[in-house]
């Protein structure tokens, strides 16, 4: 890696030729030993043992590059030129760079020992300078590659965002035309559910693509520098085993997922058949003595709840097989917590099923539960919806029907007041006039002759209080009739 990076640096910087090229001649006309194109203090001007100076320089160049480019744990390369029998040997660490002969020392005008000391001194200064230069070049090369990869990551993320946005838009445009998934011509997955699943898959794919892109870029950047490589190694060691285990578990769960999908499809098909049967009962095409049309909604919801209760453990067992891993145990614990928290809701639903099935209360009834009362306008599996006499909406959970008495009112609450008129006509005529006046303004109002006392007649007028301002409207209508001489007011108040 380091050798390749060094060659790439030389190529990028337009430096001298590589080591495989013929070495440059020394200042004294000999062949110089080079390190990636940089001439070292060592030159060969005479042949030795039948080898030309150029070939000796080329071989020493390759050995020098191999010695300096080799991976080492730490510390600078050690340069030594020990004397041996009839020659000296230039070594860098344990690598033999070049043998030095007496002829080389004679050409330099020195004895072999002095020549060896001179070469060792000069190479001891040359090698550290080249290592510093190499380190600096590698740092800038890795920095350049890191910046390049980060820019590529940003561009890739933008391209992924554009692609997923385009796919989301295309899915939104075609969602209404998606064909439902059917088995034996029985739809088991509606087009809405299919569109939702595809949209969810696109969302998961978007997040996964973003994560993979960022993780790959960050891992590449961390691998470029010596100070961050241990961190990357620890991260890989920490996350590698769980990821591999998770992938193996996913691959092993594929058959179970297929079985769970088949169970889900069969359940949807069975519910579809049950709903078709109940639709026939509700429309009157099919007569079922135990389930009249008014009880069809109850049976429909009971069938759905029963299917969920039965099929959910089977699907979980098919996917997981057994709850052995910590993640599966946590999922099971979370499920128990959710079930425990849903006990009140489930109890209210059971009570609602009983109320709906027995028809103890029906829409349109006026009931009083505890300290609230109102007209039943809607009945769900969770609560009653009441509209009180003064308006608004009250939701009464079915559990309240277990602990509080339910009083079904005979009729809606009414607003009652007394009207006193002069008895200048017969009581029958006065009753007809007052009743027609009241009925014109409020058809559900009632007028009763409550008392006759000498020259006055008292009428009791009542109207449903569910309509706001009914008392005021009726009084205004009666005043208008009195102003038109339909009858004469003698006073009003509560009857004695």
| Average pLDDT value for the chain | 79
pLDDT at 150 over 90: yes
In this prediction, residues 169-195 reach a mean pLDDT of 77
Highest averaged pLDDT of the listed ranges 55-59, 73-77, 324-328, 381-385? 55-59
Q: How many residues does the chain have?
A: 496
Residue 369 structure tokens: 């539960």
Cβ contact 385:376 at 8 Å: yes
| pLDDT value of position 207 | 93
pLDDT band at 291 (very low <50, low <70, confident <90, very high): confident
Give yes or no for residue 117 having a pLDDT over 90.
Answer: yes
Q: pTM to 2 decimals? A: 0.46
Q: What are 70-110's pLDDT values in tens digits?
A: 877 767 889 999 998 889 999 998 889 999 999 999 998 99
pLDDT for residue 320 is more than 70: no
Position of tokens 């009632």? 446
For residues 196 and 189, the model is more confident at 196
Mean pLDDT of the 360-384 span = 76
Domain layout of the chain by residue ranges: 2-141, 354-408, 414-491
- Between strands 394-397 and 95-100, the pairing is unpaired
Q: Considering the domain 414-491, what is its CATH architecture?
A: 2-Layer Sandwich (3.30)
Kindly report, residue by residue over 9-40, the tens digit of the pLDDT: 444 444 443 334 444 334 445 789 999 888 99
268 touches 304 (CB < 8 A): no
Question: 354-408: what fold?
Answer: SH3 type barrels. (2.30.30)
> How far is 181 from 195, CA to CA, in rounded Å?
11
What mean pLDDT comes out for the span 157-168?
A: 94
Q: Is the distance from CB of 298 to CB of 356 less than 8 angstroms?
A: yes
Query: What is the residue-wise DSSP string for 323-376?
Result: --SHHHHHHHHHHHHHHHHTHHHHHHHHHHHHHHHHTSS-TT-EEEETTEEEEE
**The pair of three-digit structure tokens given for residue 127, joined into one six-digit string:** 């090698």
Cα(100)–Cα(80) distance, rounded to whole angstroms?
Answer: 12
Contact 202, 171 (CB under 8 A): yes
SS3 111: coil
Q: Cα–Cα distance between 213 and 220 in angstroms, integer?
A: 11
Q: How far apart are CA 436 and CA 432, in angstroms?
A: 6
- Give tens-digit pLDDT for 211-220: 999 999 999 9
């Amino acid at each position: 890696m380091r050798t390749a990076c060094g060659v790439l640096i030389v190529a990028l910087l337009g430096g001298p030729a590589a080591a495989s090229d013929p070495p440059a001649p020394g200042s004294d006309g000999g062949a110089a030993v080079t390190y990636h194109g940089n001439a070292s203090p060592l030159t060969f001007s005479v042949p030795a043992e039948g080898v030309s100076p150029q070939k000796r320089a080329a071989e020493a160049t390759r050995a020098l590059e191999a010695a300096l480019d080799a991976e080492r744990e730490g510390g600078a390369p050690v340069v030594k030129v020990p004397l041996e029998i009839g020659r000296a040997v230039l070594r860098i660490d344990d690598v033999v760079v070049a043998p030095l002969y007496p002829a080389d020392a004679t050409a330099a005008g020195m004895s072999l020992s002095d020549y060896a000391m001179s070469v060792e001194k000069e190479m001891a200064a040359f090698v550290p300078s080249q290592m510093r230069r190499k380190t600096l070049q590698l740092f800038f090369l890795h920095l350049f590659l890191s910046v390049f990869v980060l820019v590529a990551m940003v561009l890739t993320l933008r391209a992924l965002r554009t692609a997923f946005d385009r796919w989301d838009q295309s899915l939104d445009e075609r969602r209404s035309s998606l064909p439902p998934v059917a088995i034996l011509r029985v739809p088991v997955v509606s087009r809405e559910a299919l569109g939702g699943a595809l949209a969810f898959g696109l969302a998961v794919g978007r997040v996964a693509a973003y994560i993979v892109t960022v993780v790959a870029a960050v891992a590449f950047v961390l691998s470029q520098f010596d100070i961050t490589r241990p961190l990357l190694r620890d991260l890989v060691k920490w996350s590698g085993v769980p990821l591999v285990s998770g992938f193996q578990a996913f691959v092993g769960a594929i058959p179970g997922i297929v079985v769970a999908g088949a169970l889900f499809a069969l359940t949807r098909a069975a519910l579809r058949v049950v709903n078709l049967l109940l639709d026939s009962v509700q429309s009157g095409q099919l007569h079922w003595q135990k389930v009249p049309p008014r009880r069809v909604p109850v049976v429909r919801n009971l069938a759905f709840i029963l299917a969920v209760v039965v099929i959910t453990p089977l699907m979980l067992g098919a996917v997981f097989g057994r709850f052995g891993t910590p993640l599966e145990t946590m999922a099971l614990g979370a499920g128990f917590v959710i079930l425990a928290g849903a006990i009140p809701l489930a109890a209210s639903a059971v009570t609602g099923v009983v109320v709906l099935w027995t028809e103890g209360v029906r829409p349109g009834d006026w009931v009083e539960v505890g300290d609230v009362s109102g007209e039943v306008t809607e009945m769900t599996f969770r609560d009653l919806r009441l509209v009180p006499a003064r308006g608004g909406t009250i939701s009464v959970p079915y559990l309240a029907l277990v602990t509080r008495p339910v009083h079904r009112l005979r009729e809606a609450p009414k607003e009652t007041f007394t009207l006193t008129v002069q008895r200048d006509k017969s009581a029958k005529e006065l009753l007809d006039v007052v009743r027609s006046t009241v009925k014109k303004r409020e058809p559900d109002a009632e007028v009763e002759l409550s008392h006759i006392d000498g020259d006055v007649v008292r009428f009791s007028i009542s109207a449903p209080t569910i309509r706001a301002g009914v008392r005021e409207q009726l009084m205004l209508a009666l005043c208008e009739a009195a102003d038109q001489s339909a009858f004469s007011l003698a006073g009003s108040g509560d009857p004695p």
